[in-house]
Structure 1
């Protein structure tokens, strides 16, 4: 009798589990508020449909989504809770300045940096955190500090010139990361970590940034991963990690100490003369001097902002530089047109103000084409409307639904950009053609969450690309255009070449 009772109990448990799972599946397929939207049934049932492409297929869900749109149409359900739209006409409706827009916590929390403005989910909290940072990244502020960019550019050119006419190969891709990292850190913290001084251009930082999605993607699906990493003492990681990870965590440790030092200095008495030297202020001063409550001024919270703003400020720009470098020097016609235009300013581009370079249409078109093919991120950035339903055609998107679009898919839409994978600056030279796509060209996103550092990025691109094109000739070793195409969602752009661009260089004869 006891065995029979145990058997019946086991059967009841199994039956209950099966009933629960069946009810769970039926609800998501037929009764959920998103049940009427098209898409694969498995994606509607479980996030592990996405997990397969995120983890097993190494960040391929962005491109699977593109395939699903071809099968199901412009609006699809890509998970039990989330929608995706692939229609440029919808972009301005979703990424806009008015309204209240949350980010999707499921994706943002996976970074383990909830204190960072970049990853802040709540609309109002994000607005209050961003307010003290904004003035540091205004166009006027960037223009006032262009000497900083020029100084690092001269060091960059000095390093490159040492390889000139020697036949020695060096990694121009790592060098691109080095200069943007040094500029970003000094701009944000008034401290350069001197990547340009490293013999290998501090290539470990390039390697680390190229693999950023290896933790983020699994952490979305298994949140405990982030908690485990944060619980491990950083000194233990530094002691036991491989060389690349060790260098990265040494940098994090140094940045944490620098943040503490800046916070201590910001709260100590300073002279009136120091107060007048606005250029010495950092984003740490901005945060501590703001009206944010004291809970928002803890070391941990400030460090989250410092580390993410600095991190977002270099590899995204470096990715564009590498792509532009390759295509400009691999295509004689593009290089010739660019140099002809640069000659018109009658000076070395490193010696003129950024506003002069901004008036050059072909240079601007070249940079826009680089930004089109290498926007800041490869993933979708879902928005959640908190105050109203959204409408796409005849579809009503319920309030509170995460719905996103993916910039790289929009930027390679052949209806907007014929022959979309081709690097073609001429597509931006016609003012009428440019107007047609202006509303959907969004390398820095749009709306309330647009990129904080876009003016700094533009300034770097103008000065660096113009100067390098004017001064040097490069030959690349084994590189192809495919090496710089987005093939993986690393949150940032993941490429086949992983940021490497091996080159030999000679100084251009004027």
Structure 2
């Protein structure tokens, strides 16, 4: 009997496709990670459309449009089965349903994405959810936020069974050290980074940090007391340093005062990543679609070019990339993935070492302008230091207790990663604070929320550096405080970032009086902070006036 479209468009046919979709969800998509399969699944769908349509045209004399109509309706029924099964499972049967949270958070990662995109204050949204629902809140289909103080060490300790979440795969196939989810491979690659940040290595970088510190203060001098955008220029400072230490040359933004294309692309990429970081499946799609992927390809091409140029031109003095490159060159037969990892690490050196240090420094200057008593006390310590040291060095500078206390307090109030680092529980699950967390659950310790928790800090919303020095009673539980992370994930470049902050703060505060520029609203700066995984800053205009009344030797 000759088949027609009517024979293949019966309720039975569509019902079979629908049931198949339900079964595929239950037995396939509910297991394992599918976030990076977006392009492969689209190709599989396209192959299905072409293959089955050709079969119908050849075997049953369908026209191309008739065949495509039938196969598209079959697929729509199949996809509907997957979707309804997925939503029903998440709404009523999911393993995380016993945890409180907004109902919409159960259904889709679009809910937390909406919260993240709406005003880009995800860390504040998470804090509100904890205030409403308690210490453990479900903020996504497979994601919970845990704010109990004792949970931090359980999740982030070196011996913790958790792994990094699928979020770290969004830059695939460029897998930098931070994105390496496999513990053994991470430990092996971490060795080169640890060599790059020994005390000896830091001393090799010190004169370069001093060079760019002087360039920054030269730019401040050029402004002669006029409004100076601290957010932008301190970011120029950190980017120029890390460009030197990664690629052997600066981006020259401090000298030119012009944003480098790489600087612009990096911030745009960071903003995009921060907004859509829970829609992991979206990133492979953007990377694969022509026109949409043009900025991404341009960005990658720049980094590859810098890596190749750096490999051909060894610097006279070692930089951070020297140690990463040593490990790569030691490979007998480096694979394409090894090279992708090398490029990813080059990118990581610049990004991880620039935006984080810049935001921390700028936030502290903002606090100091708001608290003249703290500023005066810090200046006294810095002036005393300069009067007894003809030349500064990273060892002695690291012993300035009140300076470090100010840095610690600023990082507590405005942590670099305010929403916390996403981790995934082991397949068998784990107990956290006596609560069983099912396997393959993404868990966060929300830094901003926990650092402002009265169970951990007295007067948690106040800027009081003395809590780290002479008033330890203001700290109830210091175990939650790890602005550079802890365990195997502790920031490799922590000491370099601190060295940059100490030098630039010492130089600025010993030479200038600081104040907000006329017309600047200090609260507008706080309101404009953006949670892009790391903290992104709005404009902050300040005025720097030479300290004519203070004369410091050295």
The TM-score bracket by the shorter chain reads: 0.7 to 0.9
1:12 positional shift: 4.4
Query: Secondary structure of 1:294's partner?
Result: coil
For the 8 Å contact 1:189–1:283, the answer to whether it is kept is no
For the 8 Å contact 2:420–2:447, the answer to whether it is kept is yes
User: Of the two, which has the highest radius of gyration?
Assistant: 2
For the 8 Å contact 2:154–2:432, the answer to whether it is kept is no
Aligned-residue CA RMSD (Å): 3.5
Per the alignment, residue 102 of structure 1 pairs with 163
With normalisation by structure 1, the TM-score equals 0.83
Describe how 1:422-501 pairs up with structure 2 within 5 A.
Answer: 422-430=462-470, 432-433=472-473, 436-477=476-517, 478-484=520-526, 487-495=529-537, 498=538, 500-501=539-540
Structure 1 residues 222 and 438 mapped into 2: Cα distance closer, same or farther (>3 Å)?
Answer: closer
Q: Is structure 2 residue 73 aligned with structure 1 residue 34? A: no
With normalisation by structure 2, the TM-score equals 0.77
Structure 1 residues 122 and 59 mapped into 2: Cα distance closer, same or farther (>3 Å)?
Answer: farther
Query: Secondary structure of 2:385's partner?
Result: coil
Which of residues 147, 157, 162 in structure 1 aligns to 2:207?
147
Q: Is structure 2 residue 445 aligned with structure 1 residue 397? A: no
1:469 positional shift: 0.6
| Structure 1: gaps spanning 5 or more residues | 239-248
For the 8 Å contact 2:126–2:446, the answer to whether it is kept is no
Per the alignment, residue 282 of structure 1 pairs with 322
Q: Distance in 2 between matches of 1:415 and 1:280?
A: 40
Which of residues 399, 409, 412 in structure 1 aligns to 2:452?
412
Q: Is structure 2 residue 375 aligned with structure 1 residue 335? A: yes
Query: Secondary structure of 2:192's partner?
Result: coil
Structure 1 residues 66 and 347 mapped into 2: Cα distance closer, same or farther (>3 Å)?
Answer: same
Which of residues 293, 297, 308 in structure 2 aligns to 1:260?
308
Structure 1 residues 64 and 155 mapped into 2: Cα distance closer, same or farther (>3 Å)?
Answer: closer
Q: Distance in 2 between matches of 1:8 and 1:281?
A: 63
Q: Distance in 2 between matches of 1:88 and 1:481?
A: 29
Q: Distance in 1 between matches of 2:96 and 2:248?
A: 49
Q: Distance in 1 between matches of 2:258 and 2:230?
A: 10
Describe how 1:308-387 pairs up with structure 2 within 5 A.
Answer: 308-347=348-387, 351-386=391-426
Q: Distance in 2 between matches of 1:8 and 1:250?
A: 49
Describe how 1:24-423 pairs up with structure 2 within 5 A.
Answer: 24-55=86-117, 57-105=118-166, 107-112=167-172, 114-164=174-224, 167-200=225-258, 205=263, 209=267, 212-218=270-276, 220-221=278-279, 223-229=281-287, 232=290, 237=295, 253-264=301-312, 278=318, 282-290=322-330, 294-295=334-335, 298-347=338-387, 351-386=391-426, 389-423=429-463
Q: Distance in 1 between matches of 2:293 and 2:165?
A: 32
Per the alignment, residue 243 of structure 1 pairs with none
| Structure 2: gaps spanning 5 or more residues | 20-76
1:316 positional shift: 0.8
